[in-house]
Amino acid sequence: MKTILVTGGSGFIGTNFVKYVMTHYPQWNILNLDALTYAGNPENHRELSDDPRYTFVHGDILDAGLLKKLFDAHRFDGVFHFAAESHVDRSITGPEVFLNTNIMGTFKLLEASLSHFRKNKPADFRFLHVSTDEVYGSLGFEDPAFREDTPYDPSSPYSASKASSDHFAKAYFKTYGLPVVVTNCSNNYGPYQFPEKLIPLVILNILDKKPLPVYGKGENIRDWLYVADHCEALAKVFEKGTAGETYNIGGGEEKNNLEVVQTLCDLVDQKTGKNGTSRDLITFVADRPGHDIRYAINSDKTRDEIGFTARYSFEQALSDTIDWYLENLDWVRSIQTGEYRQWIEKQYGR
């Protein structure tokens, strides 16, 4: 048995990863450390409350004392570091929390991991640092996709904070020998995503007959990765990846934002039997400052060295995602608090 620390395991990707591991890796025990900020929901793992392989700890990665206590008590065989502030729009209006969590939090976790690694020398220990393609900056429409050796050029406070944490993680391998692996993924979507992100926001606004905000002309392109594919890739990188290396994880599905919103309109209308078209709700709003025009991921290294290729097509996974939200509206309504409504009005009311 392995005991694995998952930080941020009650957020979107972390939630899906915990569920993936509990199903596909019966030889792993999971300790989920989550601060339960606005996007973390402990109810995501209600079905695991009596499972002896799962432990939840409410705490912050900035708490060095708590980290030491957990590492001493559980002698982790590995770390999956998801915990992060991740919404670009929020980083533009309030960047300081991104420095605290994404940079200082990662530093505290690296320090605790290094102390544990030196003291206990666990076999095959890995610190897997989960990052984003946004650290590479923006591509032109005809530029080749991001590779692992693409120079960093972050545009937002969010991507700058993630770039910094990536560099810290790699430095702890080069300087101290901590077995770190970094992954940079493209835009994730799927169940349990907090509805400030594009796909769940549009789904729910269609259901509520509210405007569907699209930045600028909707021309910005993203590579879309279904979260189940991402979780499979992360587990494989943990097992097969080389310490000190970076692995890009993409879905191979480049779509511009307007195309995504229009597809969502058509699918939701079809599934709900709506008369007319929800495309009439599309509303173009002032563009985000520093909005990167295009992201694209070259995943050849991950395919060749790890043996991972995304399984899900965008169309099928998007349909499955809509089905999940339609079947879990109680979960959605429980997190659409006053703070959430105020944020949406502040961000898109203009």
Whole-number Å distance between alpha carbons of 123 and 78: 10
Which is catalytic among the residues 134, 223, 229, 292? 134
d(CA 116, CA 122): 8
Q: Residues 163, 260, 250, CA angle at the centre, nearest 5°?
A: 40
Kindly give, in sequence order, each residue whose CB lies less than 8 Å from that of residue 350, ignoring residues fewer than 6 positions away: 285, 286
- Nearest-angstrom CA–CA distance, 25 and 35: 25
User: What SS3 class is residue 132?
Assistant: strand
| Nearest alpha carbon to residue 171 among 123, 120, 129 | 129
Residue type, 7: T
Q: How far apart are CA 78 and CA 236, in angstroms?
A: 13
Does the annotation mark 305 as catalytic? no
Q: How many CA atoms lie within 13 A of 80 on its CB side?
A: 31
DSSP-derived 3-state class of residue 16? helix
In whole angstroms, what is the distance from residue 66 CA to residue 106 CA? 14
CA–CA distances in Å: residue 120 to residues 32, 53, 73, 115: 21, 22, 12, 9
**Residue 161 and residue 253: Cα distance in Å, rounded?**
26
Query: Considering 77, 85, 133, 229, which one is annotated as catalytic?
Result: 133
158 catalytic, yes or no? yes
Q: Would residue 134 show up in a list of annotated catalytic residues for this protein?
A: yes
CA-CA distances (angstroms) from residue 332 to 196, 201, 325? 11, 10, 8
Residue from 253, 221, 198 nearest 140 by CA: 221
Amino acid in position 26:
P
Please give the Cα distance from 350 to 347 (Å, whole number).
7
From 54, 136, 158, 192, the catalytic residue: 158
Question: Does residue 254 contact residue 223 with C-beta atoms inside 8 Å?
Answer: yes
Return the biggest CA–CA distance within the chain. 65
Catalytic residues: 133-134, 158
